[in-house]
Amino acid sequence: MMVSCKEVSQLVSRSLDHPLPISERLVVHMHLMVCKLCSRYRRQLHFLQRAARRLPEHLDETAMPPLSDEAKQRIRADLDADKENS
């Protein structure tokens, strides 16, 4: 059975979310044996998933602004108010 790179790219992505049925796994496997671009693409998607999972540990390195001082003060006051009420 012939599948296109476009279909394989979708199946490779799907395999990251859900195990593929054996027939589709076979089709992908055969295609990857002869297609250098799709093989690279598959490796790169696996890398993307690994990186995405580690992003939360690296948020301080992303140049995103921190919580502003005003917001910190406001939250601090609200925490105190809540403590007194409880």
Residue 70 C-beta: closest distance to other proteins, Å: 9
Structure tokens given for 86: 């409880």
> Can you tell me which of 6, 23, 34, 84 binds other proteins, judged by CB under 8 A?
6
* 84 lies in the binding site for other proteins (CB under 8 A): no
Closest CA to 31 of 23, 43, 39: 39
> From the centroid of its chain, how far is CA 85?
41
Using CA atoms, how far apart are residues 17 and 31, in angstroms rounded to an integer?
20
The residues of the shown chain that bind other proteins, judged by CB under 8 A, are: 4-7, 9-10, 13-14, 16-18, 37-38, 40-41, 43-45, 47-56, 58-64, 66-67, 71-72, 74-76, 78-79, 82-83, 86
